[in-house]
Structure 1
Amino acid sequence: MITTARSGKNTLKALEYLYGPGRRNEHTDPHLVASWDGFAPDPGRDPEATLAQLRDILDLHVVRYNRPVNKHVYHRMVRADPSDRNLSDQEWGDIARRIVAAAGIAPDGDPDGCRWIAVHHGDNHIHILATVVRADLTQARLRGDQYRTETELTEIERQYGLKDLSDTRTPEYRAAIPKRAKSPELRKAERLGQEETERAQLRAGVRRALAGAATEEEFLAGLTVQGIQFEIRRLPSGDASGYKFALPTGDPGGPVWFSGSKLAADLTLPKIHERFAIGVDLPSPSRPDDQGRPATVRYRASTITDRAAATIDDDPRTGQVAAVVSGAIEVLDTLALTSPVLSRKEINQAARALEYTAVARTRAARGEVRAMRSAARGLLYGGRAGGSGEEGAAAATILSSLVLLAIVIAKWHAAQGHQCQAEAAHTAAAHLRTAYGRHAGRPLALLDTRGRQLPEPVRDRQETAVRQALGSDQATQVLADDGWAALAATLAEAEAGGHDPHALLTQATGQRELASADSPAAVLTWRIRRNTRLPAPAPKATAEDRRTSAALSRSRTTAPAGAATQPPRPPAPAGPDQARRTR
């Protein structure tokens, strides 16, 4: 459950909202489920009861107090998670009584508590409305009410079998997660037919501009390319104090500006400059040998991602995880920018989900941040990749590594009791699996066919290598995997190129985290192909294709300089006897 509170000066106006249609007609059947004495009039169910009458009863002690009270209205919302069952009015009434007691509105056993009501109007939540003057004409002591109510909600979730959201109520979580859009922003996005609010669009755009940028100049240039307006706020001394960002708009009122802190905790000027200070390892993008190598940089980023996952296993300190999560978001943002359309949306959604796994109030490990930012920079300046061939295979490789990294992050959060962060990481992994499948399906199918066509002695030799290199349980799992034939084909191909299958398997399994993989054999396949730089799987040419290619090659070789080269005619169809000799 989540809960928020606010204060106000007008009891009647608050009641009109609670019993009214809501701002978007979301209020259905508003009615009381509890009150301070159980006998408060209910304008929702009693046609003779009025809002003014209920207002006068609630304000009785405020009027008797005979002194001005600053914001005498206390309004608290309590909402169950969307995945929770619908609670009955009686259950909501019991919850309301526990919340007002914990907050200090009406402590248990105190006959002089404040007057309050709890209104339920659908959507599995209630509103508690109270006036803060007690019957003994003193003001309620509400300092620290949020922490007390959140502690009570944790116990309520346990007793009622509701989703445990205790980790989302910690200051560390609230400081780390992206800042949520407010109701007016949501209504504006809905009115304009936009899937995301301006705040969410800006947050994603700022992250894309930051991903892989080595300097502030590159970061600001990235904002400009996306059409994002920005300003640098400065102190009287001239020193920069913060950023603010806005989307271009045709509204008469002009653009809506958001400071970096209103987007996310790590998008403030000091946090962004901290990344630039850490630096990156790759050469400048002006180097010509860094251009146009999307497959190479994806393989490199895959290796760095595997190391990051192993780092969390080896050293699960909070700083290490914070660094890996921050770097992984940058890698995903640059990967989305440089990926083909078939996987771009899923990769972007994975990046947005991973934002909710961030770790706040800790010093990130600089080495891990630098390595992941370097991988992001390589992706950014390595060129846009295609969806097939060597680039498609490289994309499948890095996506396979990112799926396992997301799972490692989920396991770490689960071990810390951070249920919501763990679920966010699993959501990111699900999006990455979808993107992976769009790149990996065809090459794995080709390798599977090759593996099934291997001579039996060759397959037996690869099976022996698996049993010797992997433990008994892991070898059994790999050999029973649907991807075993593709792995066997890869091992045979590497062996033909002079590699030792046993050594390759030992190296690939040493990079860890196979137990969580959907297909351990597929993970090993991509790691081995990456480590040995095997060419991307492609359909084998037919005998006729090979004859045509050879003839074309001869014609190009023997043609005199400057002569036009004509492609050879296809050979005549073979007769039955010739066909048998060809086979």
Structure 2
Amino acid sequence: MIANIVKPGHKTRGVLNYLYGPGRANEHTDPHLVAAWDDFVPDPGRNPAATIAQLADVLDLRVKQAGHKAPKNHVWHCSIRAAPEDRHLTDDEWATIARRVLDATGIAPAGDPDACRWVAVRHADDHIHIVATKVRGDLRPPRNWNDFLRADKELVAIEKEYGLRQVPRGDRTAAKRPTRAEQEKAQRTGNARTSREHLRTVVRTAVAAATTTEEFFRLIEGTGALVDVQYFPSGDVRGYKVALDGDTNVQGEPVWFSGSTLAPDLSYPKIAERLTASASTPAERSEAPAWRRLSHAIDRTPDYLAHGEDEAGQAHITVLAEALDALPLLAPASLRPQLVQAAIVFERAGRSRIRAQHQQAQATRRAVKTILREPAPKDGTLLAIVLDALLLAVIAAQHWHRARNHRQQAEAARQTADHLRMAYQVAATEPLAVLRQRGTRLAESLRRRQEFALRRALPDLAEQILAEPGWPALAATLDRAEAAGHNPAALLTEATARRETASATSVSEVLTWRLHRLADLTADATSSAPAAPSAAYRPSKTSQQRRTR
């Protein structure tokens, strides 16, 4: 059950005209009062002799009595909507819910004879609208500060008492939703997403790729978006705003969005904090290609989340979001739709009230930025390994958020995992087929040798794994690891000791990719030769794209 309290207005009759009218798409049916501050309030929906004008007049009586002391915007309007799967609520139940919310918000405290005048109108099965005028009987304004949070807290209790769906609550770190006007504009122009949503993706992807704030602005320009950078008198950057080229208002001016209006973590100070932390942390010397470094770094994320401090855990989840933002740029076309959706959904899981210590996750962040400057893997093996590691990390992030009661973030992570599973299944099909073929061609003595290692290391899982279609691929991987000088039984023990396998659809597949990471069997799956940055990040600056002031 969700409450939506809009900005106060000044036209009581205008709100009532909408509530008792047909709606924007004739969606209103049988509008009528379910409750009011007084039992004798005229109801235009049930009494043919009553009019909307009469109802507006009695609601506004105290506003007129207060005269110039009345607030200019005196109309308080709150809608309360049940979840689609909730049972049908009767008028009496909605009336009780309305009174409880009014009491909780301070608009009409229970038992207060001077409480504000109000009505609750129902014109659909799943929601009601509460309209109140913000002048009490003593002609003072109500004490309804922080009314949304108090209404939401009361709805949590109502959901439990009425047996309704317990909707995940936010922590006020969610990105701002597109307005109705923005959504209607997108529909008129034939765009699937609003300008706000499109720019949010552009900026997030630029943050994932950039190494400095200067490069961050160049990368946004390279996508064709407009950038307006504001400066302090000292010359330091104060902030920025972005717009889509061609997206204008009625005056023909670009429709600008500041970073903070796109998402709380896209303000300039938050972005600069991330990029500065990356630049100030010494890089570890490594000869391994970036894709292998990325797979190893992401593979350690569940361990960091399970055993690290909350601030470090939040930092690793933030970098996980950056990895998901970057991956669609490099993945094959067949995987991009699912990876784009995974990045969009995980955006909500990437933030919480916990302040991230970004220095704790710089190894992963550097690997993310480097893969955009190196060629993609020549075959699908390394991509499948990265996707498998990402899936495990996202599931770990889901558990991390759930343990801290971050319900919206946990749900976003769960949905992200669904998209990643579908992408993984596509990416892993060919590499697994090759590995299975190698496994079926193993000499009988070698296959029995790996089966013996499996039974010795994992006696409780051995029969299940041997019966799975993925066993030949795992056998081929064990044989290759042994040829590289590893102990197969020890690798299997380590692979299962670090993380559970009970939730895996195919234990053999999970172990196949874990062994590839542990034994570093991806050396021939990628090239370490340097390459120019991805074409998606080559700035194509125009005379109109950069404005400074």
Q: TM-score, normalised by structure 2?
A: 0.87
Partner of 1:555: none
Please tell me whether residue 96 in structure 1 is matched to residue 98 in structure 2: yes
Q: Is the 8 A contact 1:326 1:358 kept in 2?
A: yes
The one-letter code sitting in structure 2 at the alignment partner of 1:363 is R
Pick closer, same or farther for the CA change 1:217–1:383 going to 2, 3 Å: farther
Q: Is the 8 A contact 1:508 1:527 kept in 2?
A: yes
Whole-angstrom CA distance in 2 between matches of 1:534 and 1:276 = 30
2:414 equivalent among 384, 402, 426: 426
1:231 equivalent among 228, 243, 247: 228
Whole-angstrom CA distance in 2 between matches of 1:367 and 1:451 = 43
Whole-angstrom CA distance in 2 between matches of 1:402 and 1:463 = 29
CA deviation after TM superposition for structure 1 residue 100, in Å: 1.1
Q: Deviations over 1:125-184 (max 9, x none)?
A: 22100112233444322233333222211101111222323631xxxx21x222211111
Q: Is the 8 A contact 1:212 1:374 kept in 2?
A: no
Please tell me whether residue 488 in structure 1 is matched to residue 475 in structure 2: yes
1:323 equivalent among 296, 315, 319: 315
Q: Find the residue that maps to 1:99 and give its secondary structure.
A: helix
Partner of 1:375: 367
Q: CA RMSD in A?
A: 2.7
CA deviation after TM superposition for structure 1 residue 83, in Å: 4.3
1:533 equivalent among 521, 524, 529: 521
Q: Find the residue that maps to 2:41 and give its secondary structure.
A: coil
CA deviation after TM superposition for structure 1 residue 485, in Å: 2.7
Please tell me whether residue 448 in structure 1 is matched to residue 436 in structure 2: yes
Pick closer, same or farther for the CA change 1:495–1:66 going to 2, 3 Å: closer
Please tell me whether residue 502 in structure 1 is matched to residue 489 in structure 2: yes
Q: Find the residue that maps to 2:69 and give its secondary structure.
A: coil
Partner of 2:4: 4
Please tell me whether residue 305 in structure 1 is matched to residue 298 in structure 2: yes
Q: Which moved more, 1:21-30 or 1:264-273?
A: 21-30
CA deviation after TM superposition for structure 1 residue 64, in Å: 3.2
The one-letter code sitting in structure 2 at the alignment partner of 1:414 is R
Consecutive unaligned residues of structure 2, counting only runs of 5 or more, are: 526-549
Q: Is the 8 A contact 2:259 2:266 kept in 1?
A: yes
Q: Is the 8 A contact 1:245 1:259 kept in 2?
A: yes
The one-letter code sitting in structure 1 at the alignment partner of 2:17 is E
Please tell me whether residue 183 in structure 1 is matched to residue 170 in structure 2: no
Please tell me whether residue 163 in structure 1 is matched to residue 165 in structure 2: yes
CA deviation after TM superposition for structure 1 residue 113, in Å: 2.3
Pick closer, same or farther for the CA change 1:82–1:378 going to 2, 3 Å: farther
Please tell me whether residue 408 in structure 1 is matched to residue 408 in structure 2: no
Partner of 1:202: 199
CA deviation after TM superposition for structure 1 residue 450, in Å: 4.0
Whole-angstrom CA distance in 1 between matches of 2:444 and 2:91 = 69
Partner of 1:469: 457
CA deviation after TM superposition for structure 1 residue 479, in Å: 4.1
Which structure exhibits the higher relative contact order, with contacts defined as CA atoms closer than 8 Å and separated by 6 or more residues? 2
Q: Which moved more, 1:524-533 or 1:303-312?
A: 524-533
Q: Is the 8 A contact 1:494 1:534 kept in 2?
A: no
Pick closer, same or farther for the CA change 1:320–1:519 going to 2, 3 Å: farther
Whole-angstrom CA distance in 2 between matches of 1:127 and 1:320 = 43
Whole-angstrom CA distance in 1 between matches of 2:252 and 2:125 = 34
Q: Is the 8 A contact 1:96 1:128 kept in 2?
A: yes
Q: Rg bigger for which structure?
A: 1
Q: Find the residue that maps to 2:8 and give its secondary structure.
A: strand
Partner of 1:575: none
Question: Equivalent pairs: percent with the same residue?
Answer: 46
CA deviation after TM superposition for structure 1 residue 26, in Å: 4.2
CA deviation after TM superposition for structure 1 residue 397, in Å: 0.6
Partner of 2:22: 21
Whole-angstrom CA distance in 2 between matches of 1:459 and 1:364 = 47
Q: Which moved more, 1:498-507 or 1:516-525?
A: 498-507
Q: Find the residue that maps to 2:155 and give its secondary structure.
A: helix
Q: Is the 8 A contact 1:213 1:219 kept in 2?
A: yes
Pick closer, same or farther for the CA change 1:476–1:179 going to 2, 3 Å: farther
- Paired residues for 1:335-374 under 5 Å: 335-374=327-366
Q: Which moved more, 1:460-469 or 1:502-511?
A: 502-511
Q: Is the 8 A contact 1:73 1:131 kept in 2?
A: yes
Q: Which moved more, 1:196-205 or 1:29-38?
A: 29-38
- Paired residues for 1:394-405 under 5 Å: 394-405=382-393
The one-letter code sitting in structure 2 at the alignment partner of 1:32 is L
The one-letter code sitting in structure 2 at the alignment partner of 1:53 is Q
Q: Deviations over 1:548-577 (max 9, x none)?
A: xxxxxxxxxxxxxxxxxxxxxxxxxxxxxx
Whole-angstrom CA distance in 1 between matches of 2:464 and 2:312 = 31
1:520 equivalent among 504, 507, 514: 507
Q: Find the residue that maps to 2:166 and give its secondary structure.
A: coil
Partner of 2:241: 244
Q: Find the residue that maps to 2:315 and give its secondary structure.
A: helix
The one-letter code sitting in structure 1 at the alignment partner of 2:269 is P
Whole-angstrom CA distance in 2 between matches of 1:536 and 1:127 = 63
Partner of 2:277: 278
Q: Is the 8 A contact 2:435 2:472 kept in 1?
A: yes
Q: Is the 8 A contact 2:283 2:363 kept in 1?
A: no
Q: Deviations over 1:13-60 (max 9, x none)?
A: 111222233345543433222212234222234433211011012122
- Paired residues for 1:264-275 under 5 Å: 264-275=263-274
CA deviation after TM superposition for structure 1 residue 505, in Å: 2.2
CA deviation after TM superposition for structure 1 residue 190, in Å: 1.7
CA deviation after TM superposition for structure 1 residue 324, in Å: 1.4
Q: Is the 8 A contact 1:340 1:384 kept in 2?
A: no
Q: Find the residue that maps to 2:209 and give its secondary structure.
A: coil
Q: Is the 8 A contact 2:319 2:365 kept in 1?
A: yes
Q: TM-score, normalised by structure 1?
A: 0.82
Q: Is the 8 A contact 2:105 2:150 kept in 1?
A: yes
Q: Is the 8 A contact 1:74 1:129 kept in 2?
A: yes
Q: Is the 8 A contact 2:380 2:430 kept in 1?
A: no
Partner of 1:52: 53
Whole-angstrom CA distance in 1 between matches of 2:460 and 2:47 = 68
Pick closer, same or farther for the CA change 1:234–1:21 going to 2, 3 Å: farther
CA deviation after TM superposition for structure 1 residue 325, in Å: 1.6
Q: Deviations over 1:274-332 (max 9, x none)?
A: 11211267989xxxx99xx9xx43232111101112111122x3212211121011111
Q: Deviations over 1:340-392 (max 9, x none)?
A: 1111121111111111113334332334331221121121111245xxxx531
Pick closer, same or farther for the CA change 1:45–1:249 going to 2, 3 Å: farther
Whole-angstrom CA distance in 1 between matches of 2:116 and 2:10 = 16
